[in-house]
Structure 1
Amino acid sequence: MQVTRRRRRLALTSVAVGALAATGLTFASANQALAEEGCEVDYNIVSTWGGGFQANVVITADEPINGWEVKWNFPTGTTVSSAWNVDWSQSGTGFTGGDVGWNATIASGQSREVFGFIGNGSSATPGQFTVNGDVCNGPTEPPTSDDPTDDPTDDPTGNPGGGDKVDNPYTGSQVYVNPQWSARAAAEPGGDAIADQPTGVWLDRTSAIYGNDSPTTGTMGLEDHLDEALAQGADVIQIVIYNLPGRDCAALASNGELAAGEIAKYKSDYIDPIVEIQGMAKYADLKIVNVIEIDSLPNLVTNVTPRATATANCDTMKNNGNYIDGISYATAELGALSNTYNYIDAGHHGWIGWADTNPQYDNFNASAALFGSLIGENGMTADDVHGFISNTANYSALEEPYWAVDQVVGGQAINQNPNVKWVDWNDFNNEKDFTEAFRQELIENGFNSDIGMLIDTSRNGWGGDYRPTAASTSTDPVTFVDDSRIDQRFQKGNWCNQAGAGLGERPQADPEAWIDAYVWIKPPGESDGASQLIDNDEGKGFDEMCDPDYQGNIRNGNNPSGARDNMPLSGHWSSEQFQELLENAYPPVN
């Protein structure tokens, strides 16, 4: 099916391209001021800085104008602080600017820079402009064709065409900045330096699809975010699919709304509406990255009977098969759309980094085999999986530059020494090495050879005063590792609001041949769980691993939790944590 669209004129200055490339950081971006035939408004970004920007507005008249009024809607959270050569007002996101007499006339065919302003917030180009009530530019028009077969409704998803999916959706792309997270970050001291970073949008309960009082989605639902992505001119948006029945079976802080057996409800009330919205024709050219069900499948390897780390809830989820059923269904349904890129959560090196011939101790090979078993379930194919993501909402270091797990210290390889509890015979000490090896194991278990990996680097920088600058000179292996390691947790199983953590590498595409991108899926500043029991209607329990006084359990080697005190429910904002992440960022935030 061929889809024909009427093209709109493009007005793009080299200054604007350079300015928005800067705001897009390591992801490429572009500023596009698009106009219908007969009317043109250029929205030119002159300069940007942390949380602010300067723009000039140019109107081109195809017919003489004597007196003008221009209107548009900003991205959520963007405001004007000052303007010149214009009589202006702002109500919510709506901006109205009028002439001031001397600049009221624009001759036929003339382009006139009518005013300029200083803005705070997103510098993304608004999606539509009007001049004197006439629409000058707006969303892409629906397909027009005399061919009765040229109809997007021929596709049952409503998602027309889109062609083959690209190898890496992040390459050369501008990635959506969630305006709600951005506004929270920008309101923090120093936060404007990172407020323009792209983060994940979490659909952590069914009502989040439509918009609610969720701390992560607020009043914005999925369609709101997708529309905002179009308004920003984004190429990619990152959505977290996170609502399995019996969710997070080995912990309590992120338990969800669906009971262990409610798989039919998960499919019909949660996944199906997401598929319907993502498949709307208006999003056909937007690449939607779905991060699918974090902290799920590896639990069925590590936290089930006969493991000593087993929990009753994980045994239930393994026996009822609803994790396998739910994830394969979500992946197959979302993968059938032409504009989606599915990345399944794959834990992290400190969780499944152990490969062993004894099934009692093998997490690495067993996890890859479990992922491979998804293929064929609910019609899911390997083609429905674009890749996997590690370290989602976690703290594992990207690299450990000063030591290796097989390094010999004190006459024995570190990962063969029973006294080095930090390593504990793990084959890896960082996410880069782990993802490279695990990717290959996944391919050997049936996934396509071109799958890519993502790594969540939102909180794994571990900078600040405690960051080592060289390898330890100690010959004692325990001291050597503790003094050389970047990751400062008590134990790699510690996952809740880790004190001392910092922002990691900023989001960027193609950092390594096997890594599609470093991403910030967990929005920095949002809690992992409450440090004490808090009554709530979000289905979130109290987990002792979020209590700073908790001394641990078998799943974290009976070590202290390392959690911060005075933390809110998971997904809720913590100013104190955000400030610590800024302070301990590595690379540092300038």
Structure 2
Amino acid sequence: MKFSQSAALAFAATAIAAPSPTTPQQPRQASAGCSSAVTLDASTNVFKRYTLHANSFYRAEVEAAVQQMSDSSLAAAAAKVADVGSFLWLDSIANIAKLEPALQDVPCDHILGLVIYDLPGRDCAAKASNGELKVGELSRYKTEYIDKIVSIIKAHPNTAFALVIEPDSLPNLVTNSDLQTCQQSASGYREGVAYALRQLNLPNVIMYLDAGHGGWLGWDANLKPGAEELAKAYKNAGSPKQLRGFATNVAGWNSWDMSPGEFSTKSDAKYNQCQNEKTYVSTFGNSLRSAGMPNHAIVDTGRNAVQGLREEWGNWCNINGAGFGQRFTTNTGLELADAFVWVKPGGESDGTSDPSAARYDSFCGKTESFKPSPEAGQWNQAYFEMLLKNAKPPF
């Protein structure tokens, strides 16, 4: 996740994802959808009934990566990654076109994960993942982005959907309010998130609102304002019943339950009790409940298998030495944590390492950042192979 150096108390500990039983990945099935309309009960953990679908877009990326491998054993392991459930990022208006094809092979017992990510002035504290819409283009966000996604989901009532709503947005308003870019984006973020929650409140949808991670909103000073910021969006959306809670560690590196945490010996660690995502889910979840918002969570474990790689908790870009983490499972060991999921597609870059590029962010030039790396969202074959080799559990 992205946040500025100025947010000194917004950084957090990470830790290694402890192995837990993994839900067996189902082979791809030809039949799509159910025979009747799907209704998801947001008061329950729907992932106990539905397997996170291995979407066709990431499958195609992985299959193309396999073709580039000369090592047959590595290629065989890589092929298994294509069967892991992961989220499809609808990170631009153009990329909404990925949605219809991705719906064609979703069987009735699977749920299609989508990331809603295109707010005006998106990711106001980072250059690498800035969006296409400018501050002030909220009407475009509503009509050309959210409304189009809503229309497609309504046209497929027999398919179940799990949505992560706008990574990086509301957490940035809590910890990066000193940045002019975030100040300018604030009203659009708040209105846009509320609009997304309200319009996407459909019977066959379950929603999780992004809450950064334990190194961001997990600091003692950030817990209450962070929970209040999310809860305000929830209430401004009319308290949509299909919102289940929050998403953590999206595109992040933090461990699930390493104790003591990776940065627990830092001098400022005493100001953050959330030294891993397990503690964060419990602690922030309690704050959300107090603020009046549903508080169950999903945790991104897509790239958090290896710890001790970062110099600072806030370093987020293409961390070198990382590995694929725990595959989809509901066996989290914590009632508030619905599932471990892969939200960030491993192999897609966080941002370019080229300092001459327009979207170069200095975080992508850090000592611990993998180089060379292409623009955000573009495939990095070498990075994918590294994630595969360092996977825990291994493939």
1:456 corresponds to 2:315: no
Task: Tell me which amino acid in the other structure corresponds to 2:205.
Answer: T
Q: Deviation at 1:234?
A: 4.6
**Aligned equivalent of 2:13:** none
Give the one of 247, 251, 254 matched to 1:393: 251
**Aligned equivalent of 1:204:** 91
1:513 corresponds to 2:359: no
Q: Distance in 1 between matches of 2:40 and 2:181?
A: 42
Q: Distance in 1 between matches of 2:247 and 2:353?
A: 27
Does the CA-based 8 Å contact 2:205-2:242 persist in structure 1?
Answer: no
Q: Quick one: structure 1 residues 301 and 527, their matched pair in 2 at CA, closer, same or farther if it must change by over 3 Å?
A: same
Does the CA-based 8 Å contact 2:274-2:283 persist in structure 1?
Answer: no
Does the CA-based 8 Å contact 2:128-2:361 persist in structure 1?
Answer: yes
Does the CA-based 8 Å contact 1:229-1:237 persist in structure 2?
Answer: yes
1:366 corresponds to 2:225: yes
Q: Deviation at 1:500?
A: 1.3
Q: Distance in 1 between matches of 2:33 and 2:271?
A: 56
Q: Quick one: structure 1 residues 25 and 427, their matched pair in 2 at CA, closer, same or farther if it must change by over 3 Å?
A: closer
SS at match of 2:338: strand
**Aligned equivalent of 1:567:** 373
1:126 corresponds to 2:30: yes
Q: Quick one: structure 1 residues 528 and 586, their matched pair in 2 at CA, closer, same or farther if it must change by over 3 Å?
A: same
SS at match of 2:216: helix
* Structural mapping, 1:358-437, within 5 Å: 362-377=221-236, 379-401=237-259, 403=260, 420-421=266-267, 423=269, 425-437=271-283
Does the CA-based 8 Å contact 2:250-2:300 persist in structure 1?
Answer: yes
Bigger share in helix: 2
Which structure has more RCO (C-alpha within 8 Å, separation ≥ 6)?
2
Q: Distance in 1 between matches of 2:38 and 2:60?
A: 35
Q: Quick one: structure 1 residues 124 and 195, their matched pair in 2 at CA, closer, same or farther if it must change by over 3 Å?
A: closer
1:495 corresponds to 2:316: yes
Q: Quick one: structure 1 residues 257 and 433, their matched pair in 2 at CA, closer, same or farther if it must change by over 3 Å?
A: same
Task: Tell me which amino acid in the other structure corresponds to 1:199.
Answer: S
Give the one of 282, 294, 307 matched to 2:167: 294
SS at match of 1:454: strand
**Aligned equivalent of 1:442:** 288
1:312 corresponds to 2:312: no
Q: Quick one: structure 1 residues 267 and 578, their matched pair in 2 at CA, closer, same or farther if it must change by over 3 Å?
A: same
Task: Tell me which amino acid in the other structure corresponds to 2:225.
Answer: A
Q: Distance in 2 between matches of 1:25 and 1:295?
A: 28
Task: Tell me which amino acid in the other structure corresponds to 2:361.
Answer: D
**Aligned equivalent of 2:45:** 168
**Aligned equivalent of 1:246:** 121
Moved over 6 A (4+): 138-141
Give the one of 333, 347, 360 matched to 1:542: 360
SS at match of 1:509: coil
Instruction: After superposition, give the CA deviation of every residue in 1:9-34 in whole Å (9 maximum; x if it has no partner).
Output: xxxxxxxxxxxxxxx960575xxxxx
Q: Deviation at 1:199?
A: 1.0
Task: Tell me which amino acid in the other structure corresponds to 1:229.
Answer: V
**Aligned equivalent of 2:10:** none
**Structure number with bigger Rg:** 1
Task: Tell me which amino acid in the other structure corresponds to 1:302.
Answer: T
Instruction: After superposition, give the CA deviation of every residue in 1:92-113 in whole Å (9 maximum; x if it has no partner).
Output: xxxxxxxxxxxxxxxxxxxxxx
Q: Distance in 1 between matches of 2:310 and 2:268?
A: 9
Task: Tell me which amino acid in the other structure corresponds to 1:301.
Answer: V
**Aligned equivalent of 2:193:** 327
Q: Deviation at 1:140?
A: 6.7
Q: Quick one: structure 1 residues 502 and 248, their matched pair in 2 at CA, closer, same or farther if it must change by over 3 Å?
A: same
Q: Deviation at 1:393?
A: 0.4
Task: Tell me which amino acid in the other structure corresponds to 1:162.
Answer: T
Does the CA-based 8 Å contact 1:422-1:491 persist in structure 2?
Answer: no
1:284 corresponds to 2:157: yes
Q: TM-score, normalised by structure 1?
A: 0.58
* Structure 1: tracts of 5 or more residues without a match: 1-23, 30-122, 128-137, 144-159, 211-220, 305-309, 356-361, 406-413, 463-485, 549-559
SS at match of 2:304: coil
Q: Quick one: structure 1 residues 330 and 438, their matched pair in 2 at CA, closer, same or farther if it must change by over 3 Å?
A: same
Q: Deviation at 1:544?
A: 1.2
- What is the Cα-based RMSD across aligned positions, in Å? 2.5
**Aligned equivalent of 1:354:** 219
Q: Deviation at 1:440?
A: 1.1
* Structural mapping, 1:39-50, within 5 Å: none
How many residue pairs get aligned? The number is 364
Q: Deviation at 1:312?
A: 1.5
Q: Distance in 1 between matches of 2:56 and 2:363?
A: 31
Task: Tell me which amino acid in the other structure corresponds to 1:315.
Answer: Q
Q: Deviation at 1:456?
A: 0.1
**Aligned equivalent of 1:26:** 23
Percent identity between the aligned chains? Answer: 33
